[in-house]
Amino acid sequence: VIDSRKPFEHKVGTFQRSINPEINNFREFPKYLKKLNKNKNIAMFCTGGIRCEKASAFLQKKWFKNVYQLKGGILNYLKTINKKQSLWRGECFVFDNRVSLDANLKKGSYSLCHACRMPLTNADKKREEYIEGEACHLCYSIKTEEQRKRYRMRNNQIKLREKNARIWNNKKTQEHQTNYK
């Protein structure tokens, strides 16, 4: 069973006993294929089914005989499987503001580093190298002070926007309540 997602996605969550090829883009996939037996059963999965669809078509084109894929990907599996029978472990990385989803398809516990865009656990955010909005343990040593300054400015703008949105929403709520008294 091959997890056709990127290594960082695999680390967030995957199926029991799955193999991640440790490739960061599809161009590296043919090199990985050379390690596989063309006569063995090969099952693949990805988040929504698109990447493994592409990978399985490629395998079949290269004369692999028994290629299977998880229709609809991990998200469909989590949506349809009985939770007690699930072989899924961890959370599923998604490419939107939710960052990850738990087994019930609810927002997970991961967040993103604003500098390198890698998923972070709560424990990662407690590390010395973590600076909110600037860097994490994965990118702290490779980001320049100029880059971190830009990230700091962006993070301050995000906080200011959130604060202003809360103030505006509170005013609107108070106006709405006043109009109904």
Query: Sign of the C-alpha dihedral, residues 135, 136, 138, 141?
Result: positive
d(CA 128, CA 136): 9
Q: Is 45 helix (H, G, I), strand (E, B) or coil?
A: strand
d(CA 71, CA 106): 21
Planar angle of CA 159, 164, 166, nearest 5 degrees: 95
Counting beta carbons within 10 angstroms of the beta carbon of residue 179, is it exposed (0 to 12), middle (13 to 18) or buried (19 or more)?
A: exposed
Strands 66-69 and 41-45: parallel
Catalytic residue among 46, 52, 136, 139: 46
Q: How many CB atoms lie within 10 A of CB 59?
A: 22
Token pair 């997602």 in the structure block, residue: 5
Annotation marks residue 92 as catalytic? no
Planar angle of CA 156, 110, 19, nearest 5 degrees: 140
Active site residues per annotation:
46
